[in-house]
Amino acid sequence: MAGLFQKILIANRGEIALRVQRACREMGIPSVAVHSTADAQAMHVRLADESVCIGPPAARDSYLNVAAILSAATITGADAIHPGYGFLSENAEFADMVEAHGLTFIGPSPAHIRMMGDKIAAKTAMASLGVPLVPGSDGELTSLEEARTVAARVGYPVLIKAAAGGGGRGMKVAFAAEELDEAWSVARAEARAAFGNDAVYLEKYLDRPRHIELQVMADAHGHVVHFGERDCSLQRRHQKLLEEAGSPAITRAQRDALGATVTAALARLGYRNAGTLEFLYQDGQFAFIEMNTRLQVEHPVTEMVCGVDLVREQIRIAAGQALGYGQPDIRFNGHAIECRITAEDPETFMPTPGMVSAFHAPGGLGVRVDSALYSGYKVPPYYDSMIAKLIVHAPTRAEAIARMRRSLAEFAVVGIKTTLPLHQRILEAPEFEAGDYTIHWLERFVGAH
């Protein structure tokens, strides 16, 4: 395709490396796979146009090894790098170095990655642009006394959160004034130890929210659109197990209203490329908590409902192309559900790496499997345990549930334990079928079993 890249290096592994490789191939852009010594036989390497070994198994020595990745890009003649998710995808210093080497980082500007990495800066920016927040401190808390004053104003329980945290790391709850001193000290000490930054802020604790996120895409010419929401409330210990698009809890009018607020805000910020705004939703109200400046694991449910290739859009935008369509052109068709299948014991959640002696993926109308698994593949113990994403799409939520049930029944992974049986149980639960769940439902469901 004219005016795009000569060659794209994909700085990731597993299903997402394959996902990006597929977009490159359809766009006629050669791509380079990188891999650790543990991944020499991985599917993303076997299907690659070209591949480079970037180090030993430990991620810090390979998939997080900036010098090795930049060298691989240089020696193969790549002019752009797609980071996927995880690893270096939200590392502003990496994005800076990619650009300093004269390459294009396929993602937002380093400044926007940095801004959203600081949860206080992200909230301050969004608040100033009219995006609703959870009631709480106006930015960083400067003293325990200030924490007391704000907590008294918003009402207990409250959360003390680390500015450098996110994704559930660095949070302490105080149910009453007597607990605030402890929450303040522990949150700050943990934030200092974990992130080298003890800045904290305070929010009223919402006790039964849903986690609803909005997918956005912005080009370099000031156009911003959204691709609707995903409901990611089904999680255990901050690991999502199942996501849906759209959310069973919100209406079309709510989506349109939230989307209008968010796209206007991001246009004002000058944001570029893909992004996801995370909200807590409770009692009919959205409250922004964090923004992710990367492609997300669960992006396929959005792709199925909107009929868009989000990775292709990321690549086009990074090459300077305009979106070429507006919000009214984006249609929301039917319903999509994703199950994240992991190599874990479905009861204890202990990782189960090892040899997959046989692998059979489901198929048929409205079924998509994003996976780098194959029969005879040995799941290595060094990385994330997700081995497949099973995504289904159907005209209605009820039909999507029926399609997911039959697809889970067809799915065969032999040789290692997986979470397939747990997904089958979730799909049979009346609360799931009714769409009646909060972020706490799954933990009770797996605990009660």
Quickly count helices (H) and strands (E) in the chain.
Answer: 15, 20
Taking the C-alpha atoms of residue 209 and residue 173, their distance in angstroms, rounded to an integer, is 15
CB of 404 to ligand MV4, least distance (A): 21
295 neighbors 386 (Cβ within 8 angstroms): no
Site map for ligand MV4, 129-148, x if CB under 6 A?
-----x--------------
CB of 207 to ligand MV4, least distance (A): 7
211 binds ligand MV4 (CB under 6 A): yes
CB of 133 to ligand MV4, least distance (A): 9
Full DSSP string of 16-59: HHHHHHHHHHHTT--EEEEEEGGGTT-HHHHT-SEEEEEE-SSG
439 binds ligand MV4 (CB under 6 A): yes
CB of 175 to ligand MV4, least distance (A): 12
Taking the C-alpha atoms of residue 1 and residue 321, their distance in angstroms, rounded to an integer, is 12
- Residue at token pair 């004219």: 2
73 binds ligand MV4 (CB under 6 A): no
Show contacts of 393-398: CB within 8 Å, 24+ apart.
393/304, 393/305, 393/334, 393/335, 393/336, 393/366, 393/368, 394/334, 394/335, 394/366, 395/333, 395/334, 395/335, 396/334, 396/335, 397/244, 397/248, 397/335, 397/435
CB of 242 to ligand MV4, least distance (A): 13
CB of 197 to ligand MV4, least distance (A): 17
Alpha helices in 138-296 (DSSP H): 144-154, 180-195, 252-269
Kindly tell me which of 29 and 202 has the beta carbon lying closer to ligand MV4.
202
The letter for the amino acid at 82 is H
Site for ligand MV4 in 266-325 (CB under 6 A): 280, 289-290
DSSP state of 249: T
Active site residues: 294
Interface segment toward ligand MV4; rule CB under 6 A; list 2-10, 98-106, 204-212, 269-277:
204-212
Identified binder of ligand MV4 from the candidate list 147, 160, 206, 387, rule CB under 6 A: 206
Identified binder of ligand MV4 from the candidate list 159, 242, 386, 420, rule CB under 6 A: 159
Q: 14-26 vs 310-318: helix axis angle to the nearest 10?
A: 70
Assigned token pair, 44: 């993303």
Kindly tell me which of 190 and 290 has the beta carbon lying closer to ligand MV4.
290
CB of 119 to ligand MV4, least distance (A): 9
Kindly tell me which of 234 and 373 has the beta carbon lying closer to ligand MV4.
234
245 neighbors 301 (Cβ within 8 angstroms): yes
Site for ligand MV4 in 228-257 (CB under 6 A): 235, 238
Q: How many residues does the chain have?
A: 449
Taking the C-alpha atoms of residue 356 and residue 286, their distance in angstroms, rounded to an integer, is 43
Kindly tell me which of 148 and 236 has the beta carbon lying closer to ligand MV4.
236
Kindly tell me which of 154 and 330 has the beta carbon lying closer to ligand MV4.
154
Kindly tell me which of 168 and 320 has the beta carbon lying closer to ligand MV4.
168
Site map for ligand MV4, 162-181, x if CB under 6 A?
----xxx-------------
Positions in the binding site for ligand MV4 (CB under 6 A): 134, 159, 166-168, 203-206, 209, 211, 235, 238, 280, 289-290, 439
